[in-house]
Amino acid sequence: MFENRIIPVIAINGRGHCKSSKPKDSDYRKRGAVERFFSLLKMKLNLLDVRVKGLQRVTVHISGCILGYLLKHIL
């Protein structure tokens, strides 16, 4: 994950189920907003069933969907 500059937002012990020496991440409260945003994005762009594998292919697929969505609403 870190080689692609993807930084996890949720701490390992984010749900509080596991006792750990690491404190909870302060950004954990943002998780609900992020989940709602991605849920809306999936519904609007028909991304509920992505059939490609790999970070690069998924990125290209989603970028194409967003571009098509924007073009549809501009024209």
pLDDT digits (tens, 9 = 90+) for 26-46: 777 777 887 888 888 888 878
Q: Which residue segment(s) compose the domain that 20 sits in?
A: 1-44
Same domain for 20 and 4: yes
- Domain tally for the chain? 2
52 closest CA partner among 43, 44, 63 = 63
In this predicted model, what pLDDT tens digit does every residue of 47-75 receive, in sequence order? 888 888 888 988 898 888 889 888 988 88
Rg of the chain over all Cα atoms, to the nearest angstrom: 16
Quick one: pLDDT at residue 8?
60
Q: Is residue 7 very low, low, confident or very high in pLDDT (cuts 50, 70, 90)?
A: low
Same domain for 37 and 6: yes
Quick one: pLDDT at residue 17?
55
Same domain for 60 and 28: no
Same domain for 33 and 14: yes
